[in-house]
Structure 1
Amino acid sequence: MIHSVDMTDSPEHHRQRSEFIRGMVQRTECALAGRSLREQPPKTIIQFWHDLQNLPPDVEECIASWARWQEVGFKHVLFDEFTARSYIRTSLGRRYEQAFDRCYHPAMQADYFRLCYLSVEGGFYVDADDVCIGSHIDWLFEDTRLKVHPLCYDIATASMVSTASFLTAETFTPNWIFYFNNNPLIAARRHPVIQLALQRSTEALENSIDGALPEIQATTGPGILSRTIFELGVTSGTIEREVVVLRDWDLFAISKWPLSYRNDRRNWRHSNQKAI
């Protein structure tokens, strides 16, 4: 239990955030969804690729694994940089469009756009390089809670920890950092976590010095989402009535490796805080 919470973006804040998320991930009991006036997420699958005129064939194959759900009544929408900017301008206004324009990398654009779209419309956002291997999808839309995928990074080995290894407390080491991925995100429209994450991300982009390239994860990606869930959690005490941890996501979808774009500047890991 966290008694004194550091709300600045300090090493102590990061430690407390990791511990809080570890508690959510490794807790065996599951809180029931609280009563909510929100509607369930619409059965819409949303994806983004910045340049659809130059869509890599291997990424197109990944997208097709999600587009196939249209055959059973789901809607699939694919945005690029142009249509995403137009959507943001029309749905949220000039302030958010200007924030989007500060996203200097396609991955950052995708990060920010998903928060914008889900805040307004709700639905199921999944990255274009994920492949759906599941045979049932309705369970993702069953209630109004935000559904997020947990991740864990081992500082000692500089590598990700397999999901099966970190779901229970028995294998924990102090070198592990727990956080939530921003892929996938399944949310009802106007979900408080998404709305606050969008607000925080917008402010971070606005506050970045002109010409500076802010760190992607912390500004628009998993960092801003994890921070939002943590801070809402410690102030409300009821975050598990608003958030569901997808402990078995790896049985439903996989991130495909290798893909052609991962070896060039389109891979955000090669371009973080660098101009393309």
Structure 2
Amino acid sequence: MDYSFISNRVVQYWDEEDPPSLLRERMDNWRLANPDFSYLCFNRSSAASALGHLYGESLRKAFLSIRLPAMQSDVFRVAYLHACGGVWIDAASHCLEPLHQWLNLKSSLVLLRRPNMLAPLASNGFIYSSVPQHPFLAEAMKRVAAIIENRQGNRIWRLAGAGMFRDILSDPAFSMSVQVLEWASVSAFIQFGSSKEVMSPDSHWTVRHNLEPLYFD
């Protein structure tokens, strides 16, 4: 696999090799609507291999120790875009318009706010990175690596998700180089979905993280 830095690439994740048909259709829509972008979809195995190549065996093993797919995805998006760039889009999200119609490809890092999110909160469900090792992602990567290599924490949202993004964006040293788009400006182009649409309620991370350890070891 090519691990060179490419900003015009859509990157997605589903822990299993074959995503549910509903999500596969949405993922295919992103690929087909954006022919000027290459496309990669990672699963747990291929993501672990990528992390091993990019960061070494310790991080690969730490990633494989993560029990919940939602946390796997949170960790992988930060690590991959930090090293290789591209557009991260959650698998359940709907493509309503091609990226080139609304995304400023000259921005170094772009995030979105979901409805009712107030600054400094921002979603990690869409991330565009056009420069290698962007300072925001470098800080996120430093935090994520320390957390999973030491098997720390019990709150996914705060450890590696939007809560962590909020904490980093609270520091002007990092937020000054990040463009955060408000939901009203992008709602005609992208619609967020949820993995709840394809799994039973007790299988979703919002339930499981209260009942199960975050790590296998």
Q: State TM-score, norm by structure 2.
A: 0.84
Contact 1:89 1:96 in 2 (8 A): yes
Question: 1:103 offset after TM fit, Å?
Answer: 2.1
1:93-104 correspondence runs (5 A): 93-104=56-67
CA 1:45–1:68: 2 relative to 1, 3 Å: same
Q: Which structure 1 residue ranges, 4+ long, deviate > 6 Å from structure 2?
A: none
- Indicate if the aligned counterparts of 2:136 and 2:175 stay in contact, CA closer than 8 A: no
Deviations 1:97-138 (A, max 9, x none): 133123220010011000111011111000000010114525
Aligned positions of 1:180-195 closer than 5 A: 180-188=122-130, 189-195=132-138
Which is worse superposed, 250-259 or 88-97?
250-259
Letter in 2 for 1:66: W
Q: 1:61 aligns with which of 17, 25, 32?
A: 25
Return closer, same or farther for 1:136/1:77 CA change in 2, 3 Å cut-off. Answer: closer
Structure 2 match to 1:271 = 208
Where do residues 1-276 of structure 1 align in structure 2 (5 Å cutoff)? 42-53=7-18, 55-70=19-34, 72-137=35-100, 139-151=102-114, 161=116, 179-188=121-130, 189-208=132-151, 214-231=154-171, 233=172, 236=173, 239-240=175-176, 242-247=177-182, 248-256=185-193, 259-261=197-199, 263-265=201-203, 267-275=204-212
CA shift, 1:219, in A, is 1.0
Question: Aligned equivalents of 2:74 and 2:21: distance in 1?
Answer: 22
C-alpha spacing 1:273/1:263, structure 2 compared with 1 (3 Å): closer
Report how many residues are paired. Answer: 205
Percent of aligned pairs with the same residue? 22
Unpaired runs of 5+ residues, structure 2, are none
SS at match of 1:118: helix
Q: Is the 8 A contact 1:43 1:141 kept in 2?
A: no
When the two structures are superposed, what TM-score results if normalisation uses the length of structure 1? 0.67
Q: CA RMSD in A?
A: 2.4
SS at match of 2:87: strand
Residue 141 of structure 1 and its aligned partner are, at CA, apart by 4.7
Larger radius of gyration: 1
Unmatched segments (≥5 aa) in structure 1 = 1-39, 153-160, 167-176
| CA positional deviation for 1:82 | 0.3
Structure 1 pair 229–262 and aligned structure 2 pair: CA distance change class (3 A):
farther
Letter in 1 for 2:20: P
Cα deviation code 1:197-248 (max 9, x no counterpart): 0111111223345xxx6210111111112212223x1xx3x733x1111122
* Inter-CA distance 46–136: structure 2 relative to 1 (3 Å threshold): closer
Q: 1:239 to 1:80 in 2, by over 3 A?
A: same
Partner residue, 1:6: none
